[in-house]
Amino acid sequence: MPEPQLDRLLRFTRTIAAEEAGREAALAARGRPMGPLRALMAIGAAGMDVGALRDHLTLDSGLMSRQLRQLEEDGLITVTPDPEDARRRRAACTPAGLAEIAACQQLTRDRAAELHDLLDGDETLLAAMDRVATLLAAHRMRLRLIDPDSAEAAACLRAYYTELSGRFGLPFTPGTDPDPGALRPPRGAFLMAEHGEDRLGCVSLRGDGLGRAEIKCLWVSPDHRGVGLGRRLMAAAETEARRLGLTRLRLDTSRHLPEALTLYRRAGWQEIPRYNDNPFAHHWFEKQL
Amino acid sequence: MPEPQLDRLLRFTRTIAAEEAGREAALAARGRPMGPLRALMAIGAAGMDVGALRDHLTLDSGLMSRQLRQLEEDGLITVTPDPEDARRRRAACTPAGLAEIAACQQLTRDRAAELHDLLDGDETLLAAMDRVATLLAAHRMRLRLIDPDSAEAAACLRAYYTELSGRFGLPFTPGTDPDPGALRPPRGAFLMAEHGEDRLGCVSLRGDGLGRAEIKCLWVSPDHRGVGLGRRLMAAAETEARRLGLTRLRLDTSRHLPEALTLYRRAGWQEIPRYNDNPFAHHWFEKQL
DNA sequence: CAATTTCTCTGACTGATGTCAGGAATTTTC
DNA sequence: GAAAATTCCTGACATCAGTCAGAGAAATTG
């Protein structure tokens, strides 16, 4: 371990930590406690179920409830029962809440703009910062089983289909799965890789309930490619498949996705003949567990 | 303002913020509240007066006192009256306290070592990180009038004399000023530039009590050179001199410090004949305020 | 329809942080 | 030597964050 390099890294993290402390202080200066503020930001323009919010922020149900009451009293959000299941409640921002979010985002953007002026648009520096952020996020990423119907899964799938549309030159849109249980335990699973607030990628196992499943929707965020995330997602999917007691995995893919082809071949998948009628597939693979 | 670059910067700060949050969590996992922990780290091996500690951490005197009591009860520090002035008290670490500090530093170093492995010693990345840290620290630095006898001033002066020793090839050591009042208001001042825990540079005004002063000990940390800190320190010293009602500033310097020479000339200083018997000086400057 | 489960909320509590008012010991000032 | 200033401390109080037990409403299960 070369000590001088370590000292340089320590200085770097120390400096950036001070920067982050400054940002937190600037946000706190708006006079709102950080807890409710984080909740407000998470609710965002789209709104969010209370349970999902609680999971996302990993808060105790009591604390969550009190923070939502506070935001409601301040007129920033409304919390209404879910019409389909009145036990569940849904938080949504009022115009005042949206304005508060926008103000906080502007504050963050202003600080980033200061940094931008400072770096004077130096592309070498920006590229290095991208690289550091990519490596760090991939290294510290955590994998999580999520609900395939959740907002997070939907966001991943939107990004995935946008990517496909670009690759194929055709407008793909995410359709609703005709068999929603296939992507949930015990038949299948939906895995997402994340780092803090950032979604790095996802992969799903679509099980038939007879010990077999298809790998679907392997997606890696464009910001986080080239650092082995696809491989790690596939490995995690395999591990999850074994845990679910699955014995055979299949997948199809297209010649327009060359990096995926390489990935499957390197990970020990066997190319097999066409097993479905997917008009966009050119290659079919199988793996026995 | 190019939006994509801004987004890249936002992603960078977001990722590094998550990294910092992880470090905080790792430190918190040692089971000690962050407040007393920060105090312990600040006391360090050298020990610190309670008042200086309070200033350094900008804590209320009541809170400071309680945190020190806690650390004392835990056997990590001792707090004893200053023998010269029994109102003042001095905190010093016990062996257990030093061990706790070392453990926390090791934790931080371990995380940095992980980052180092991740970057694979890539010099381009390290250089970019240095550059970003340097620019950021210099941009966010704050100037502070400090006591010329404080531990912070002594640290700056040690660094300054070490630098001089290297430039002159002679062993300089910081001597105690025969006239301690000359560096304090109303006659003079000692200014330090800092960012978070890092000391970026210093400059002092050594006044004669008759409206004249000499600029001494202009020092910029090697980590923070080349971004105009010397110029800003000199400007701050001038501003402070005007505030103190000084009318004439002088300084001497050596041909072994070419960047200082350039700086003084650019800042409007007039070169004048030798006005003192400093054997290491080759140039003398003056500025009327 | 009754029992159970799910989901959210309330109340009671703890600990960390922070503020303010004053008090005791000590030093400095007059 | 008395008054004033200083240094640090204690007590009272407030806010934020977090935990736990349990209540109440709604949905699901048998």
| Gap from A190 CA to C7 C1', Å | 24
Structure tokens at A220: 């890696």
pLDDT at B181: 81
Lowest mean pLDDT among A260-269, B76-85, B140-149: B140-149
Helices B50-57/B61-73 angle, 10° precision: 120
Domain pair A3-121 / A142-288, same fold: no
Find all residues with CB under 8 Å of B135, minimum gap 6, and list them: A118, A119, B227
Q: Compute the distance between CA of residue B45 and CA of residue B12 in angstroms, rounded to an integer.
A: 35
Judged against a pLDDT cut of 90, whether residue A177 lies above it is answered with no
Interchain CB contacts (distance < 8 Å): A and B? 163
Q: Compute the distance between CA of residue A93 and CA of residue A210 in angstroms, rounded to an integer.
A: 44
Q: Which residues in B lie closer than 8 A to residue A104 (C-beta atoms)?
A: none
Judged against a pLDDT cut of 80, whether residue A94 lies above it is answered with yes
Q: Reply yes or no on domain A3-121 having CATH 3.90.1150.10.
A: no
Phi and psi at B101, nearest 5°, equal: -60, -45
**Which residues, listed in sequence order, are joined to residue B251 by a DSSP beta bridge?**
B285
Q: Are B40 and B101 in contact (CB under 8 A)?
A: yes
The better pLDDT of the pair B171, B288 is held by B288
B212 part of contact set with chain A, CB < 8 Å? no
The better pLDDT of the pair B150, A106 is held by A106
Question: How many angstroms separate the Cα of A161 from the Cα of each of A130, A154, A286?
Answer: 24, 10, 23
* Residue bearing tokens 């000499």: B214
Lowest mean pLDDT among A58-67, B136-145, B148-157: B148-157
Find all residues with CB under 8 Å of B202, minimum gap 6, and list them: B153, B156, B157, B160, B190, B191, B192, B193, B217, B218, B219, B233
Q: What is the mean pLDDT of residues B253-260?
A: 92
Q: Compute the distance between CA of residue B93 and CA of residue A261 in angstroms, rounded to an integer.
A: 60
Question: How many angstroms separate the Cα of A204 from the Cα of each of A153, A157, B57, B188?
Answer: 10, 10, 49, 70
Cite the DSSP H helix spans in A169-270: 229-243, 258-266
Query: B5-53: per-residue pLDDT in tens?
Result: 899 999 999 999 889 889 999 999 999 999 999 999 999 999 999 999 9
Q: Do A14 and B139 touch (CB under 8 A)?
A: no
pLDDT at B102: 97
Q: End-to-end alpha-carbon separation of chain A, Å?
A: 40
Phi and psi at A268, nearest 5°, equal: 85, 25
Q: Are A205 and A217 in contact (CB under 8 A)?
A: no
Q: Compute the distance between CA of residue B96 and CA of residue A172 in angstroms, rounded to an integer.
A: 63
Burial A189-210 (b: 16+ CB within 10 A, else e): bbbbbbbeebbbbbbbbbbeee
Q: Compute the distance between CA of residue B271 and CA of residue B285 in angstroms, rounded to an integer.
A: 4
pLDDT at B6: 92
Judged against a pLDDT cut of 80, whether residue A20 lies above it is answered with yes
Q: Do B15 and A133 touch (CB under 8 A)?
A: yes
Helices B3-28/A3-28 angle, 10° precision: 100
Q: Which H/E stretch holds residue A218?
A: strand A212-220
Q: Compute the distance between CA of residue A198 and CA of residue A194 in angstroms, rounded to an integer.
A: 6
Residue of A8, A18, A124 with shortest CB distance to B130: A8
Query: B178-232: per-residue pLDDT in tens?
Result: 776 888 888 899 999 999 889 999 999 999 888 899 999 999 999 999 999 999 9
When pLDDT is cut at 50, 70 and 90, the band that residue A107 belongs to is very high
Q: Do B140 and A22 touch (CB under 8 A)?
A: yes
Amino acid letter for position B15: T
Q: Considering chain A, what is the average pLDDT of its residues?
A: 92
Domain ranges within chain A, ordered by starting residue: 3-121, 142-288
Q: Indicate the SS3 state at residue B57.
A: helix
Q: B61: which nucleotide lies closest, measuring CA to C1'?
A: D8
When pLDDT is cut at 50, 70 and 90, the band that residue A139 belongs to is very high
Residue of A15, A21, A124 with shortest CB distance to B137: A15
- Name the region of A197 (left: φ>0; alpha: ψ -120 to 50; beta: rest): alpha
Which bases of chain D come closer than 7 Å to a protein CB?
6-12, 15-22, 24-28
Q: Compute the distance between CA of residue A210 and CA of residue B236 in angstroms, rounded to an integer.
A: 76
Please name the CATH architecture into which domain A142-288 falls. 3-Layer(aba) Sandwich (3.40)
What are the strands of the beta sheet with B189-195, ordered from one edge? B142-145, B189-195, B198-207, B212-220, B248-253, B283-288, B270-272
A25 part of contact set with chain B, CB < 8 Å? no
A142 part of contact set with chain B, CB < 8 Å? no
Q: Which residues in B lie closer than 8 A to residue A15 (C-beta atoms)?
A: 132-133, 136-137, 195-196, 198
Closest CA to A201 of A215, A177, A183, A218: A218
Q: Do A112 and B9 touch (CB under 8 A)?
A: yes
Judged against a pLDDT cut of 60, whether residue A1 lies above it is answered with no
Q: B37: which nucleotide lies closest, measuring CA to C1'?
A: C16
Q: Compute the distance between CA of residue A45 and CA of residue B25 in angstroms, rounded to an integer.
A: 30
Q: Are A22 and B234 in contact (CB under 8 A)?
A: no
When pLDDT is cut at 50, 70 and 90, the band that residue B93 belongs to is very high
Q: Reply yes or no on domain B141-288 having CATH 3.40.630.30.
A: yes
A248 part of contact set with chain B, CB < 8 Å? no
**Which residues, listed in sequence order, are joined to residue A93 by a DSSP beta bridge?**
A77
